Amino acid sequence: MNVSDAIAQRRSTRDFLPDAVAVDVVRDILDRALRAPSGGNLQPWNVYVLSGDAKDRLVEAVAARLATHPRGEGAEYDIYPPGLTEPYRTRRYRVGEMMYEKLGIAREDKAARLMHFARNYGFFGAPIGMIFTMDRQMGEGQWVDLGLFMENILLLAEERGLATCAQESWAVWAQTLRALLPIPDDHIVFCGLALGYANPDAPVNTLRSERAPLEDIVTFIDRIDV
């Protein structure tokens, strides 16, 4: 598989088979992903890879907290800008609607929507869960670097026939994550990531999210008159 195919095929998977992924495969993906570029070569990323009992313990701990904290414990950063404006608001709304349509959940069925959302905290059934953190001294530039590292992981997984879902929803469980994982206080919890084999029979996995056309994003400039 070449890079173009991996980019074209990758999608966020929200229903995984329980089938295990060999540790060596995960290690290989991460080892290669570490070749991601970063400004000044800071490599400002850290990742905790959870499987087996460790993943189950985390999932159970969050499930136990969900009843009293339905919206989590609070993220350590704004997952979305407060008061998100257009066109971003509509893009976010649109992908949500498309996803719930695939799931057969109506707009007014808030309970079912919440129940699906809570599946984030089971890594959508994936056998591997990752949590990404970063030293708090890092700024915007380094958040981008972390994103590049994550994208490498998504594409390398795709190349191996594995599926993924990046999950910033994990950011709201920083307190529980800190209680269970050796995350230093001076590191911020950014994001989770589910990794495993996609359930081929799950309609939600057929979601093909939209993209704004090139003309809306890219400005080609070949001449500047001053």
Ligand X SMILES: Cc1cc2nc3c(=O)[nH]c(=O)nc-3n(C[C@H](O)[C@H](O)[C@H](O)COP(=O)(O)O)c2cc1C
Binding site for ligand X (CB under 6 A): 11-12, 14, 95, 120, 165-169, 191, 209
Residue closer to ligand X (CB basis): 165 or 188:
165
Residue closer to ligand X (CB basis): 127 or 173:
173
The least CB distance from residue 170 to ligand X, in Å, is: 7
Residue closer to ligand X (CB basis): 22 or 84:
84
The least CB distance from residue 9 to ligand X, in Å, is: 10
Shortest-Cβ-distance residue relative to ligand X: 169
Residue closer to ligand X (CB basis): 49 or 221:
49
The least CB distance from residue 42 to ligand X, in Å, is: 19
The tokens describing 137, both together, are 């001294």
Q: How far apart are CA 12 and CA 14, in angstroms?
A: 6
Residue closer to ligand X (CB basis): 23 or 87:
87
The least CB distance from residue 207 to ligand X, in Å, is: 6
The least CB distance from residue 221 to ligand X, in Å, is: 28
Q: Does 18 sit behind a cis peptide bond, omega within 30 degrees of 0 on the bond before it?
A: no
Closest CA to 166 of 133, 132, 198: 132
